[in-house]
Structure 1
Amino acid sequence: MKRKKIIGTMAAILILLIVGAVAVVLVRRPFDAGKPDELLADYFACIEKGAYDKMYGMLDEESKANISKKDFVTRNQKIYEGIEAKNVKISVKDAKKADGGEKVSYLASMDSVAGKIEFENQAMCTRDSYFDEFKLSWDDSLIFPDMKDTDKVSVSTSQAVRGQILDRNGNMLAGPGTAPSVGLVPGKMSENKEADIAQLAGLLGMTEEEINSQLSAAWVTPDSFVPLKTLNSQQSQELTEQLLTIAGVLINDTEVRTYPLGEKAAHLIGYVQSVTAEDLEEHKGEGYTSSSVIGKSGIEGLYEKELKGENGVKISIMTEDGVEKNVVASVDKQDGENIRLTIDSDLQGLVYDQFREDKSCSVAMNPFTGEVLALVSTPAYDDNEFILGMSGERWDQLNNDENKPLYNRFRQVWCPGSSFKPITAGIGLTTGTINPEEDYGSEGLSWQKDESWGDYHVTTLHEYSPVNLENALIYSDNIYFAKAALNIGADNLMKSLKLLGFGQELPFEIKMSQSQYANDGGTIDSEIQLADSGYGQGQILINPLHLATLYTSILNDGNVIRPYLTYSETPKSEVWISQAFSSDAASRVKTALEKVVNTPEGTGYGAHREDIALAGKTGTAEIKADQNDTTGTELGWFGVFTEDAAAQKPVLLMSMVEDVKDRGGSGYVVDKSAAILQGYLP
């Protein structure tokens, strides 16, 4: 019995020892130790997540003794986020046992701001003897091979040169230029520094706080040139002389984006500005930096991708002495493309100069090829002001100007008035609803269909005979075209206008407002609206480029030519709307428009020339609340074109001017257009 008791006691002790041993193992190994390749994969997976604290927890005790958690996190975060590391991956090649652990060979790859980075490397994984798990033996070479703790990673950018915008003859419309940059050299300022800064702030339109902020930047030394403001090269010599009387002021030439035509082409060319935080967020991954510029309007914005090019970027490992030790990755810069337009700078300037005092818009194009030669909106602003820095006062002045110089009129739609009559004529002739020889009879200067129109009458300015299509165009007879529209019919007119691009986007590089025949996408739903539509009133609104484009059908056997803005050495016409009008309709309208310009009775006779055959149509659109409104204004139109496709400078010029009432109506526009053609045509 005693022996059995002893054996039982020993068995119990043995069981307790076994249980205790298991318990110790469970305490020492709370989780699976894993494998070295898995540890390495987990480590690199943390980079893209920004889990640098977790990465530090994977290091062995010796590595932690060599670098603090704070320094580890700061160093890795600066490097990986500085190079914009993404898609970080490793592929283990092999793992070999080594003293205290395993040495893992792997291939690492990642995307960066300088393109793809790939390198082979090795990592030592040590086994923790107490917890029996693998940890990383870390030093800086785990970031990039051969990198030491005293090395730095440098990301340098080579700025791409922005492409130029050129006209058809290679003249620069936007490109590099110089302007005077005003700055301070702190070490050369006088003892009366505060008074000098106050005087300088007043001359430059800056605040003293802005100047002091620039001077207190971390990089500034006593000998530094601290730029404050870039001046317009046209600013007065007197201002420059005043600035140079202040001690420490220095004026250097600096390169800037410049617009030689300034306000003459501002609405067309647009401008660039420094990128904002919103721009960087919106265009993330497109190569923009805080020092980049971006096109904000016009051609600068439209062709931003082509003009900006691609910056060159290089990621280098640098020694503590600033010597480049190794290039990790690089992409060469690609300068932006030059964009050449069909625009003729001379014609653009001539049009602007004639209408600069007006609220107007003009389109000029080659009616046989579709090349757009000028796009002008007046009044305008100088796009160079946006480059050099516009004061808040100047910005408010432009925005509050009642003439709206920032408003791009050639992109809008306007009531065309009688300039629309050739379109009505073309529709009526093509659909067979107008007999060009029919005499509609004289109605005097006022007419209504019947008493159902109440007090409403269509009025016109001239009486003549016979009242047929050709004479109606020559004398610009509203009554004739009101009757013609009724003969065409609302459904027929709306169907035809849809075929002519109404309610559609114009096929052109710059987006224009869509033309309409009724408000809010509606229909022509009354006889009065239909009659008024016939002579370009009612609810007809049309974009000036669209109207000019429709006029090309008159010269191209009824085919509407597509307008375009990108220059080609061998221009070719492209038909936008085939047989918009019949060939006979186009011919008849052309003959009538020749007489509008070349007979004394014609409303466009002011543009008549003996040396060049011209044709065209005037228009005066009434903008008023109702027929009895005497306070409304008038829009004046004139569309004029050369007839010969073989002419040295074939051109179609379409112009609209606001507020021509009591200034000669459309005759005002005719005179201005004649002066433009006088300066442009040989």
Structure 2
Amino acid sequence: MLKKFILLILLVVTGAFAAGCQEKAQPDDRLNEYVDLWNDKKFEKMYETYLTSSAKKTYKKEDVVKRPNDIYKDLAVKDLKVEFKQPKEEKEWDKEEKAEFPVTITMNTLAGEVSYEETITLKKEEKEDKENWYVDWKPSFILPEMEKSDKVGVESIPAKRGEIYDRNENPLAINGEAFDIGIVPKEFNESDLEKLSSLLEISPEAIQKELNQSWVQPEYFVPIKKLPISERPLALEIIELPGLYSKRVEARQYPYGEAAAHITGYIGKINAEKLEKLKEKGYTAQSLLGISGAEEAYEEKLRGQNGQRIYLTKESEEEVSIVEQEVKNGDTVTLTLDAEMQKKLYDQMKDETGTAAAVNPETGEALALVSVPSYDPNEFALGIAPDKYDKIYNNPDKPLRNRFYQTYSPGSAMKGITAAVGLNSGKLDPNKTFEIKGKRWQKDESWGGYEVVRVFDNDSVVDLESAMKYSDNIYFARVGLEMGAETFIQGLKDFGFGEEIPMSYPVRKSQISNDGSISKEILLADSAFGQGEVLMSIVHLASAYGGIINDGTMMKPVLLKDEEQGTWKEGLLSPEQSKVMRTNLRKVVSEGIAGKAQVAGKEIAGKTGTAEIKSEQGTKGKENGLFVSYDQKNPEFVLAMLLEGVEERGGSTHTVQVAQKFYKSY
């Protein structure tokens, strides 16, 4: 019994001792607990359990709990980190009523990192008959130098978008101005609605919709449409109407308009889908970004980075900066394009449907990239009216389609590549002749009713020169069969077929066939003279011929002026074989079927091509006419041109004539 009594006394004493230890908690331990909650943003528990009575009298719960949460949300605060280092020297805190410790507060905000030191004061208080240490809270725990009455402000300084220039510093996309045409409702005469609709090319319903917005007041300026600065005469005519006014506003300008639209592209408001993907990069619902063309391809270079400043406004109206991220304007982008050459080429092609690429064979620089029909990027950048957009979008000629990005059947323009593959592989002797009679040929009866058809039958003994001059399908079909599928496929791969075009501006890769193989003789024969399933972009076609005339070295196509130039493929031909090809390409014009390409003072050389788009042999389909050409006297570029729907206009001869007009003007 005595033992039990002694044990009970020991338990009571031990419990009392433990309770006494708890009552005498140390301030540094208490602060450690507080900091852990702070790092987890558990502001409510911090307020309820750890604040001094005086702090709770001075600051409401919403000051300590709701306000930091709201501020941190508005400032996009991440990675909040509060660090408290335990003091090395122990102190007898029982004799103290107050303790002070330094802490470091660090956070990442939308304007950059904020890092500062604060001194935290803990006071000894007795609550509910227990003595403990409590934090004397103050607003500077939220942001440095913050006081109770301060207001937090955020200033955004928009970055200027980088501009786009051609190789000669001609502007292609610049930051300029536009006319913002608007109505003051109380001064507007409803009878002028139809006239205004006609002048602005906007439906009366669309204008009325703008005027019916909830925020509109009779005396307010209601924006209706932006006009390019070049439309000054139209703007002046419009503001003569009662109640119509114009303001000058900042706007993206495209001085070469339709001529370079598919190169420049345009900028526009970000949509919800893209915003979801890009919001981590600082894009907002109000952001403008590149929608197509170089504006889209080089968005990262052009966009820049907005400046941001977080500041406090004191009662005295003094502003105190917390952190500032300097504005970084977008970079200037210089293209290899020759804008004046681009315009001249566009002017010759603007009434056509098709595409063209002019590429320097020695450097790979793209000097012109044309897609027609086109559109005015200025209208799109300023906010094109829905009915106008629908008209362009539904145009059967597809002016929004970037045709130099697309791939097409090369037709007989393929024959130059087939010849190069044959020569380089040793499977084609340029002096070897085939005896070909008539316009139709098939290897044997295993081909059934299928025959290869040639246009001309003036030569019955055909060598490479004759076949090139008269674009002989039968000759090249037989060359392909003698070469064999394995050699032919490898040769095309050597020319870059089946791989991504090594260009910073996106262009679709070319294909040998739908599945990359050629397992049937008829497909091999067709592919060798440019039908079959072979597809090429106009950029690749120009680059390939650049390799043929450049002693067998094909340069990678480039559009950025500061992009490193380099070889894409080499050893496609020996210098001697390249000379043979150059001679034959010149004779295609001087003696063969491309005679209409002749230009005084120039030695135009090249290869024509007609690609038939039809479901089966013997039927009449649509035709694309091609002509790949260059001036042998001054081979600064290879021009590859493709025009769609030439079947009623002379086939590829029509393309030859359009190219000839360009050479005369250039």
Name the counterpart of 2:174.
175
C-alpha displacement of 1:33: 9.2
Matched, 1:117 2:120: no
- Equivalent residue for 2:626, pick from 637, 641, 653: 637
Asked if 1 retains the 8 angstrom alpha-carbon contact of 2:26 and 2:133, the reply is no
Q: Are 1:154 and 2:149 an aligned pair?
A: no
Change beyond 3 A, Cα 1:654–1:285: same
Structure 1 residues 505-654: aligned runs within 5 Å = 505-519=500-514, 521-567=515-561, 574-599=566-591, 602-630=592-620, 632-644=621-633, 647=634, 650-654=636-640
What whole-Å deviation, never above 9, does each CA across 1:31-70 have from its counterpart, x for those lacking one? Answer: 99982331341243134xxx44344334334333333334
In structure 2, give the amino acid aligned to 1:287: G
Contact 1:482–1:530 (CA under 8 A) maintained in structure 2: yes
String of CA shifts for 1:414-472, please: whole Å, max 9, x gaps: 11111110111111111121221122113211111111111111111112334111011
* Aligned match of 1:659: 645
Partners of 2:408 and 2:536 within 8 A in 1: yes
Q: Distance in 1 between matches of 2:151 and 2:307?
A: 20
Give the letter aligned to residue 626 of structure 2.
W
Task: Answer with 236-245 or 448-457: which moved more.
Answer: 236-245
1:272-311 superposed matches below 5 A: 272-311=267-306
User: Aligned runs of 1:445-524 on 2, under 5 Å?
Assistant: 445-465=439-459, 466-519=461-514, 521-524=515-518
Q: What amino acid sits opposite 1:117 in the alignment? A: V
Count of paired positions: 651
Task: State the distance in 2 between where 1:585 and 1:418 align.
Answer: 20
Residue correspondence of structure 1 range 228-307 to structure 2 within 5 A: 228-233=224-229, 237=233, 241-242=237-238, 245-247=241-243, 249-307=244-302
Q: Which amino acid letter does the alignment assign opposite residue 527 of structure 2? A: S
**The residue matched to 2:408 in structure 1 has which SS?**
coil
User: Aligned AA for 1:424?
Assistant: T
1:671-682 map, 5 Å: 671-680=657-666
Q: Which amino acid aligns with 1:620?
A: T
Rate the CA distance shift 1:241–1:74 in 2: closer, same or farther, 3 A. Answer: farther
Cα shift at 1:639:
0.4
Give 1:496 shift: 1.2
Map 1:361-440; keep pairs closer than 5 Å. 361-440=355-434
Contact 1:273 1:293 in 2 (8 A): yes
Alpha-carbon deviations, 1:359-385, whole Å to 9, x = none?
A: 201000112221110111111222112
Following superposition, the deviation at residue 665 of structure 1 comes to: 0.3
Alpha carbons 2:629, 2:640 under 8 Å: kept: yes
Using the TM superposition, give the Cα deviation of residue 233 of structure 1 relative to its aligned residue in structure 2, in angstroms.
4.0
Shift of 1:22: 6.2
Distance 1:46 1:207, change over 3 A: farther
Q: 1:132 to 1:243 in 2, by over 3 A?
A: farther
- Between the aligned partners of 1:308 and 1:139, the Cα distance in structure 2 is 40
Secondary structure, in 3 states, of the residue corresponding to 1:637?
strand
**Cα distance, 1:532 vs structure 2:** 0.9
Contact 2:77/2:109, CA 8 A, preserved across alignment: yes
Name the CA distance, whole Å, in 2 between partners of 1:17 and 1:470: 114
- 2:434 is aligned with what amino acid? Y
Give yes or no for the alignment of 1:163 onto 2:162: yes
Cα deviation, 1:187-211, whole Å, max 9, x if unaligned, reads xx53899999999899665354544
Matched to 2:177, the amino acid is: T
Separation in structure 2 between the aligned mates of residue 197 and residue 474 of structure 1, nearest angstrom: 62
Query: Against the structure 1 CA distance between its residues 398 and 134, is the aligned structure 2 distance closer, same or farther, given a 3 Å change threshold?
Result: farther
Residues 179 and 606 from structure 1, CA distance in 2 versus in 1: closer, same or farther, beyond 3 angstroms?
A: same
- How far did 1:245 drift? 3.4
What's the CA shift string for 1:343-366, capped at 9, x where partnerless?
011111122222222220100011
Over aligned residue pairs, what C-alpha RMSD do you find? 3.5
Q: Which secondary structure does the structure 2 equivalent of 1:129 belong to?
A: strand
3-state SS in 1 of match to 2:404: helix
Give the Cα–Cα distance (whole angstroms) in 2 for the partners of residues 476 and 233 of structure 1. Answer: 50
Helix, strand or coil for the counterpart of 2:584? helix
Q: Comparing 608-617 with 408-417, which one deviates more in the overlay?
A: 608-617
**Distance change >3 Å, CA 99–CA 261, structure 1 → 2:** farther
1:100-139 equivalences in 2 (<5 Å): 100-130=97-127, 131-139=130-138
Q: Does 1:53 align with 2:14?
A: no
Question: Structure 1 residues 223 and 446, CA, compared in 2 at 3 Å: closer, same or farther?
Answer: same
- Equivalent residues of 2:207, 2:224 under 8 A apart: no
CA displacement, residues 521-557 of structure 1 (integer Å, 9 cap, x when unaligned): 2411111111111110111111111111110122221
Alignment partner, residue 323 of structure 1: 318
2:152 partner SS: strand
- TM-score, normalisation: structure 1: 0.87
- State the alpha-carbon separation in 2 of the partners of residues 88 and 246 from structure 1: 58
Distance change in 2, residues 1:20/1:593 (3 Å): closer
Residue 256 of structure 1 deviates from its aligned partner by 0.2
Which digits, 9 at most, give the CA deviation of each residue in 1:104-125, with x for residues without a partner?
2212222222222121211222
Assess if the C-alpha contact under 8 Å between 1:637 and 1:666 holds in 2: yes
Tell me if structure 1 keeps the 8 A contact 2:163–2:331. Answer: yes
Using the size of structure 2 for normalisation, the TM-score is: 0.89
Question: Do the aligned residues in 1 keep the contact of 2:152 with 2:313 (CA within 8 Å)?
Answer: yes
After alignment, is 534-543 or 230-239 more displaced?
230-239
Cα contact 2:361–2:554 (8 A) shared by 1: no
1:288, distance to aligned residue in structure 2 (A):
3.1
Cα deviation for residue 128 of structure 1 reads 4.4
Call closer, same or farther: CA 1:555–1:314 in 2, change over 3 Å: same
How many Å apart are 1:281 and its aligned residue? 3.4
Going from structure 1 to structure 2, the CA distance change for 1:199 and 1:190 (only over 3 Å counts) comes to: farther
Q: Which runs of 5+ in 2 are unaligned?
A: none
- Alignment-mate amino acid for residue 230 of structure 1: K
Looking at structure 2, the residues matched to 264 and 670 of structure 1 have their Cα atoms a distance apart, in angstroms, of 21
Percent identity over paired residues: 36
The superposition leaves residues 465-522 of structure 1 with CA deviations (integer Å, 9 ceiling, x where unpaired) of: 3411101100111111111111111111111111211111111112221211211x24
- C-alpha distance in 1, partners of 2:196/2:12? 88
Q: Is the 8 A contact 2:359 2:637 kept in 1?
A: yes
Change (3 A) 1:550 1:209: closer
